[in-house]
Amino acid sequence: MVSHQSIIIVRIVFAILIAAALPKSHEWWGASPEAAGIEGPSAFVLQLMIVVFSVFVAVVYFAIGSVVQFVARSRIAIAAYFDVCVGVVLIAFLVYGGITAEYHAV
């Protein structure tokens, strides 16, 4: 039997993984801003935008998951299924986005 507490813990773990997926995949496999001629404060601002976007997606995921858990509180398996499916899809999209992101100097 799945409890509400275990679903919240799974949602927190997925939110942390979602927040880390885009910046880490971009750092490991993506293009570097220095290769496009972007250096100094501009590169820092671009990296900061990547992190802020990723954290925003994680917060939205956590909030929507909490609403789904509240609405489907009598059917706890639906909330658990929603958390896992949406979490995996978001991580996959963010990793893909981190790998394919490119910089263009203006």
4-29 and 76-100 are packed helices; what angle lies between their axes, rounded to 10 degrees? 10
Q: 105 lies in a domain?
A: no
pLDDT at res. 56: 97
What does residue 88 show for φ and ψ, rounded to 5 degrees? Answer: -65, -40
Domain count, the chain: 1
Give the count of alpha carbons within 13 A of 87, CB side only.
Answer: 25
Q: 106 lies in a domain?
A: no
> For residue 81, what are the domain limits?
4-100
**And the tokens for 77?**
């398996």
Q: What is the pTM of this model?
A: 0.86
Residue 105 reports pLDDT greater than 70: no
Q: 25 lies in a domain?
A: yes
Per-residue pLDDT band for 106 (boundaries 50, 70, 90) equals low
Q: What is the pLDDT of residues 68-83, one digit of tens each?
A: 989 888 888 888 888 8
Q: 37 lies in a domain?
A: yes
What does residue 38 show for φ and ψ, rounded to 5 degrees? Answer: -100, 120
pLDDT at res. 72: 85
